[in-house]
Amino acid sequence: MAVFDWAQSIASYVLYVLMTFLTDVWKERLKDAAAIVNMLDGLTAIMSVGIAILHDAYIGSYSIILISALAHITGLGFLALSVPPTLSKVLGTCHEQKAACIGKVQHSLFYMALPAIAVGRAGYENLASIFWNEQLIDPNNQKISNEKHCTNLDWINISLWIILLGTYLLSSIESWSVLYGILVVVMVIATIIFLSGTLSYKHVKPQGSPLACVVCVFVAATLKRHLQYPPNTFQLHNPEKVELPLPYTNRLRFLDKASLIVSPALNDNRSKWRLCTVTEVEESKVVLGMFPMWITFLMCGVVRSVGDTYFLEQGNNMENKLGKIRIPILSFFLLFEVSRVITIKIYSLILSSRTQLDQKSSYELRIGVGMLLSVKCCVVAALVETKRLNVLKNCGLQHTADTTVPMSVFWLMPQFLLLGAMDGLVKDGIKQFFYDNCPNSIKTYAEPLAKTAIGVGTILSIVIVTISNKASKIGRRHGWFSVKLNQSRLDYFYWTLACLSFVNLGFYFFVSNRFTSKRRTEEQTFRSNIVVPEQVTFVTVHPTVVPVHPDNMVIQR
């Protein structure tokens, strides 16, 4: 499994520079290349919920990881074949890595590779830890599990050094076909090693997906949309006839029709797509009630998307040498990851020292600080890009397309550090938000729901770029996004993101306060409706008085 981790990590690092491949080899327009990368990342994140439901309801973690590995190998294989030199002899095209040598077959292979890679990444990223934990669980011998855990930590330390070494080795390969071919070989070897332990793996059978019940509630409510609302809860389906784990609420009453009993026959042989329990309906209301908060998280995905696209393209057009040592652009991905991990650790230490801060305030503050860092990140990025364009103008290079700006790439360090810190706090906070507020049966979906919010935001960035570019062309000759970076005005776009992020921060605090107060009101209402059992209170007597007989005890309700 550790070899699989290495292979997936190396593949992620190489795919991180997909933007460079599109702009240098395919000669894609700046915003079009960013749209392709963001679509890939967004789809990978959005698939998280679907993968989780598939795992819980139908297929185990082992099967999904195997399918994901095969999909990843297929996608990387198509990607390697899409590079011009690979099929040049078969297709009769030129050998150079340039746009003129790319035919329709290469285009088709490339766009076939993207969904396969998305499936491969989504399946492994969401189920690797689950599969790992299934293998470590040993209820009969906890000591062995602890030893395995320590061994895993050693493997993690070793893998870190291998990834660092691999980053520098892979960055020295100039042929994209060779680079992607190496990834295919690495993934094939890792998959074979993974399959070699099939007989020794623990296989956990699917137990059903509680999140799928939310879909059933919406379907059942839609099928009964023509019915009248129930006047009271006695007409709702509650087969257990016990106290509800969630308080009955009057909001989103159209969902109550999902638990409305139409006929006794339907009650006896109920279909989950036509009749749901009151508990399932209330859980669906809770999930839908978190939608306003979910919307506020989208802007974080928009800001996060610029790190894999426009930040990277800036670095490719700047001086990347420290003396005689060439600094690979992949180093900034490692810088981003280090910043993300360290920020989470520092925040956890600060939080542990402030014991009076409850969990709800914890995730609210964590997300708020992360959103504030996103504003700062965009401001810093705008200032750095303005300086880069000024250097370009002072050197008389403003009309050149691919010229390297005589400005150190280390100017990008602050925005990568801020972006990593933002990503760590926001993702961790969003996951904690869903875990704290989801019903108990859906808490395991906290991380997939958090990834989905960031994924939708990543795709939303494509829309924002398109709108910004069209709006910037009004009354002007050129928009903010030209064919190449040096003719674009990314600084204006970064300022726009900073303003949108600041507005979103205020919107987040507004929605968060309303959400928290509403949840507290519902919890208080639920507690006030709980029937308090009878308590027996004895009458206080003086020592000189004969103790009260049991028949004279006062009963209070």
Distance CA 60, CA 78 (A): 27
Class of domain 1-206: mainly alpha
Q: What is the pLDDT of residue 36?
A: 95
- Token representation of residue 213: 């019940």
- Average pLDDT value over all residues in the chain: 81
Q: Where in the chain is the domain with CATH 1.20.1250.20?
A: 1-206, 298-531
Of residues 456, 453, 432, 448, the one with CA closest to residue 56 = 448
Contact indicator for 48, 126 with CB cutoff of 8 Å = yes
Cα distance between residue 546 and residue 140, in whole Å:
59
Q: Identify residue 454 by its one-letter amino acid code.
A: I
Q: How far is the C-alpha of 434 from the C-alpha of 449, rounded, in Å?
A: 7
**pLDDT at residue 105 is higher than 50:** yes
More confident residue, 394 or 526: 394
Higher pLDDT, 124 or 402: 124
Output the CA angle 544-548-550, nearest 5 degrees. 160
On the question of pLDDT at 372 being above 90, the answer is yes
Is 525 or 545 the better-scoring residue by pLDDT? Answer: 525
At residue 230, the pLDDT reads: 67
Residue 318: enclosing H or E segment and its boundaries? strand 318-319
Q: What is the pLDDT of residues 14-68, one digit of tens each?
A: 888 899 889 888 888 999 999 999 999 999 999 999 999 998 888 888 899 999 9
Q: Are 471 and 481 in contact (CB under 8 A)?
A: no
Q: What is the pTM of this model?
A: 0.84
Q: pLDDT by residue (tens digit) across 203-235?
A: 888 888 888 888 888 888 888 888 877 666 656
The fold for domain 298-531 equals Growth Hormone; Chain: A; (1.20.1250)
Q: Which of 141-150, 295-304, 479-488 has the lowest mean pLDDT?
A: 141-150
- Distance, in Å, from the CA atom of 244 to the CA atom of 240, rounded to the nearest integer, reads 9
DSSP state of 405: E
Indicate the pLDDT class of residue 133, thresholds 50, 70 and 90: confident
To the nearest 10 degrees (0 to 180), the angle between helices 359-394 and 330-353 is 150
CA torsion 147-152-157-162 (nearest 10°) is: 140
Q: Give the closest residue to 211 by CA, choosing from 304, 284, 133, 150.
A: 284
What pLDDT band is residue 246 in, cutting at 50, 70 and 90?
A: low
Confidence of residue 165 (pLDDT cuts 50, 70, 90): low
pLDDT for position 553: 41
pLDDT score, position 518: 60
Output 461 or 528, whichever has higher pLDDT. Answer: 461
Which residues neighbour 394 within 8 Å (Cβ) at sequence distance 6 or greater?
Answer: none
